[in-house]
């Protein structure tokens, strides 16, 4: 088939590359010219293992290219962003433009797939009405389906192939046709359903995780008050065969877990009570950590220098979207008693990329392990101690071994561990 992919980001580009490597011809369209230029040279502008190799090969073989406008095709796959507005309601403007942009190229018998994570009803009602206005009867003229992604950044290509997926059609025929298309490269099970069930399924997958992380964060805050180590509680509780407590942390970020539950809350605010509370608990974590930092440095006279390790929303990726660490840094910089210096080789956040950890720790009153990037695992705690003015660290991820850190003469503080009562 000839497939036209709209939106070549973390989801659209790997999906395009997979189809192009599975016997289809793929043309990608993106509003960002840099993405188009890079792709046509066989390059990618995002960090994702093995993606560039795959793209380069497909471009060389002539099965993948990008264009500055969509083209006629057998199937259109829309992978545009679906963020939230400041009032936490869904912003469907990208989906709207992503559907409208294909209208001039759409013919009867075409397949139209939405991959973007979307509020319930987006495929059938929102997309359906745009298609209807353009003169199509979606049920009869086209095959329309919602086919969400479950991939993990850092393992996208592997998971695109191996994960099971759900395809929600606006009718059974659409679901079957789209299922067959994805069978080109998906080795996991492909389940079919209706579009709104599939939309709700995707939202609940991330909501499940968000609610469980909120529970872990509440546990961490409780344990700090009780003088208990939350990480031990979790470790031992999870020995129970039917318990799976999640891990606490300085907040929840990314384009998915920190966003998707709001789609349910804004759709059903009266009923989605736990989901709403969990979102607010997780959104409150940067502030909680900020207060902790304030407390841990309360003995410092004058400006308190805090060295932050990691700024992305999760380890070993170059993605800062909705990162709680950015919120934490804003809180620290707004408060004039703090001076912050950030280290993160994955992204350039105010010089973070090229900064040496030990130079950054020079004269610091606190080092905060904010993101558990691999690069921070085996740091030289002796060197950190010698560089710092007050030798103390705050580990927000249970990433470091307290005994190793303390052996080097640093004071070790862990989020969720009520050991040090200051
Ligand atoms: N990144 C993930 O891990 C992940 C996982 C599952 C689901 N999703 C969902 O997939 C969707 C896409 O996410 P992403 O991470 O790929 O986003 P992204 O920001 O990386 O990519 C989106 C791309 O779409 C382009 N774009 C925006 N409007 C466009 C338009 N009208 N026409 C053409 N291109 C347009 C942007 O320039 C960008 O390159 C979102 O709904 C997201 O929630 C993402």
**What is the per-residue pLDDT across 281-329, written as a single tens digit (0 to 9) for each?**
999 999 999 999 999 999 999 999 999 999 999 999 889 999 999 999 9
CB of 114 within 6 A of ligand 1: the answer is no
How many Å lie between the centroid of ligand 1 and the Cα of residue 96?
Answer: 13
CB of 95 shorter than 6 A to ligand 1: no
Looking at 79, 147, 179, 202, which residue is catalytic? 202
Q: What is the pLDDT of residue 113?
A: 98
Q: Is 66 in the pocket of ligand 1 (CB under 6 A)?
A: no
Across 21-27, average pLDDT: 97
Select from 130, 66, 135, 138 the least CA-distant residue to 101.
130
- For residue 419, what pLDDT band results from cuts at 50, 70 and 90? confident
Q: Are 136 and 106 in contact (CB under 8 A)?
A: yes
Per-residue model confidence as pLDDT tens digits over 316-370: 988 999 999 999 999 999 999 999 999 999 999 999 999 999 999 999 999 999 9
C-alpha dihedral, 129 to 135 to 139 to 140, nearest 10° = 180
What the block records as the tokens of 421 is 């009562």
256 is catalytic: yes
**Distance from Cα 350 to the centre of ligand 1, integer Å:** 25
Instruction: Give pLDDT, residue 227.
Output: 93
Binding site membership of 29 for ligand 1 (Cβ less than 6 Å): yes
More confident residue, 40 or 419: 40
Nearest CA to ligand 1 atom 43: 117
Retrieve residue 338's tokens. Answer: 């703090």
Residue 169 makes CB contacts below 8 A (sequence gap 6+) with: 143, 144, 145, 146, 175, 176, 177, 178, 192, 193, 194, 195
Cβ of residue 219 lying under 6 Å from some atom of ligand 1? no
**pLDDT for residue 413:** 97
Write down the pLDDT at residue 187. 98
Q: Tokens 């690069």 correspond to what residue?
A: 375
- DSSP summary character for residue 105: G
Q: Answer yes or no: pTM beyond 0.75.
A: yes
Residues 6+ apart with CB under 8 A from 139: 170, 171
Identify which has the larger pLDDT, 153 or 326. 326
Which helix (DSSP H) or strand (DSSP E) does residue 331 occupy?
helix 324-334
Residue 318 DSSP one-character state: -
Q: How far apart are CA 91 and CA 101, in angstroms?
A: 17
Domains and CATH numbers, the chain: 2-202 (3.40.50.720), 229-422 (3.40.50.720)
Does position 422 have pLDDT exceeding 80, yes or no? no
pLDDT average, residue stretch 175-199: 98
Residue 63 C-alpha to ligand 1 middle, in angstroms? 22
What confidence category does residue 228 fall into, taking pLDDT thresholds of 50, 70 and 90? very high
Sign of the CA dihedral running 122, 161, 53, 375: positive
C-alpha closest to that of 99 among 121, 120, 83, 122: 122
Q: Report the distance separating Cα 241 and Cα 51, nearest Å.
A: 37
Q: Is 202 a catalytic residue?
A: yes
Residue 18 in contact with residue 185, Cβ under 8 Å? yes
Q: Whose CA is nearest to atom 6 of ligand 1?
A: 149
With the most atoms of ligand 1 within 8 angstroms of its CB, the residue from 81, 97, 316 to mutate is 81
Residue 421 has pLDDT above 70, yes or no: no
């Amino acid at each position: 088939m000839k497939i036209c992919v709209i939106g070549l980001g973390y989801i659209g580009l790997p999906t395009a590359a997979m189809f192009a490597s599975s016997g289809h011809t793929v043309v990608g369209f993106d509003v960002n010219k840099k993405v188009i230029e890079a792709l046509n040279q066989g390059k990618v502008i995002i960090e994702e293992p093995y993606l560039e190799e795959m793209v380069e090969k497909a471009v060389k073989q002539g099965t993948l290219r990008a264009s500055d406008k969509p083209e006629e095709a057998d199937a259109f796959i829309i992978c545009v962003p679906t963020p939230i507005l400041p009032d936490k309601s869904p912003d469907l403007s990208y989906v709207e433009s992503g559907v409208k942009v294909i209208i001039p190229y759409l013919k009867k018998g075409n397949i139209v797939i939405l991959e973007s994570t979307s509020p319930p009803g987006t495929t059938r009602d929102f997309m359906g009405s745009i298609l209807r206005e353009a003169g199509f009867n979606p049920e009869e003229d086209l095959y329309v389906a919602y086919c969400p992604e479950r991939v993990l950044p850092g393992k996208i290509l592997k998971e695109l192939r191996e994960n099971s997926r759900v395809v929600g059609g606006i009718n059974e025929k659409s679901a079957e046709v789209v299922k067959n298309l994805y069978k080109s490269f998906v080795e996991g099970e492909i389940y079919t359903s209706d579009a709104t069930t599939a939309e709700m399924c995707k939202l609940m997958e991330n909501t499940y995780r968000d609610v469980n992380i909120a529970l872990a964060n509440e546990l961490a805050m409780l344990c700090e008050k009780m003088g208990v180590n939350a990480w031990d509680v979790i470790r031992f509780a999870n020995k129970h065969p039917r318990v799976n407590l999640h891990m606490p942390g300085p907040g929840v970020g990314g384009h998915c877990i920190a966003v998707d539950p709001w789609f349910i809350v804004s759709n059903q605010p009266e009923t989605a009570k736990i989901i709403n509370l969990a979102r607010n608990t997780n959104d409150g974590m940067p502030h909680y950590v900020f207060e902790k930092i304030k407390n841990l440095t309360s003995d410092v006279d004058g400006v308190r220098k805090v060295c932050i390790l990691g700024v992305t929303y999760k380890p070993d990726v170059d993605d800062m979207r909705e990162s709680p660490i950015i919120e934490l840094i804003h809180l620290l910089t707004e408060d004039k008693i703090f001076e912050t210096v950030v280290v993160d080789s994955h992204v350039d956040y105010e010089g973070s990329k090229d900064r040496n950890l030990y130079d950054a720790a020079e004269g610091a009153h606190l080092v905060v392990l904010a993101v558990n990037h691999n690069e921070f695992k085996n740091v030289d705690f002796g060197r950190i101690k010698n560089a710092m003015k007050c030798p103390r660290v705050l580990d927000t991820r249970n990433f470091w071994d307290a005994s190793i850190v303390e052996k080097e003469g640093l004071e070790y503080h862990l989020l969720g561990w009520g050991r040090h009562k200051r």
